Structure 1
């Protein structure tokens, strides 16, 4: 399996060769805990998400990615923002794709299922917002979760 390497404003980063619309979901339970995965490709913590497939809507992709990565079926409830900072590049070493960030961050609530690891997630847990700060994660994911926790009145557009 290849690795994922995130770069931010790094002059030594490889040049981007793709732009793929993707979606992430901050799923929260009735206790206010956030559904997080520990990724298998870089060992960082993140909210579930991934690329939007052809023939899929943003919300369909969000629900599918959450189910595939966590075992949790969710319902989409809102939007936090759109993240397309060209300074954030993601290098997938398995195929040498270097992707410019383009991610839509949604909110959701769980409907059914139990946290279950997958090929993409070595761990899946509900975490209290106060515990998120101590977890290893990429700066872009920390930024997104921070924007969610701020409960902004309008979506973030970067």
Structure 2
């Protein structure tokens, strides 16, 4: 494995989100690793992120990564097992719907049709690797549509 520094990304505009979304594609987490602090207006999530930036090397690597979202006004869930902290989800994408500028809705879309919708004052996200990488059990695969 080529030693790469831990990933640290900041998003403060809609154009920044595709990079975070790509880095988080196929990240897995337990619902118990998600937390919303309404007083602080902060949502945090810890994922086992597949390191896509390592290229196409065999099975690849995973690392623990923390996602911190500030300015969160409300969180809504769809088709997620609320209260089941051990339920595992796999993130497909991170999307943004513009609302009253600079706010809007940040959507975390999971495989199986689950989603989280975070109404935010503005885009203010930090993604940071928080562990050493380990070999992935398998490499995520997607249909190409060809």
* Normalised TM-score (structure 1): 0.27
Q: Quick check: which one's helix share is greater?
A: 1
Query: Comparing both structures, which one devotes a greater share of its residues to strand?
Result: 2
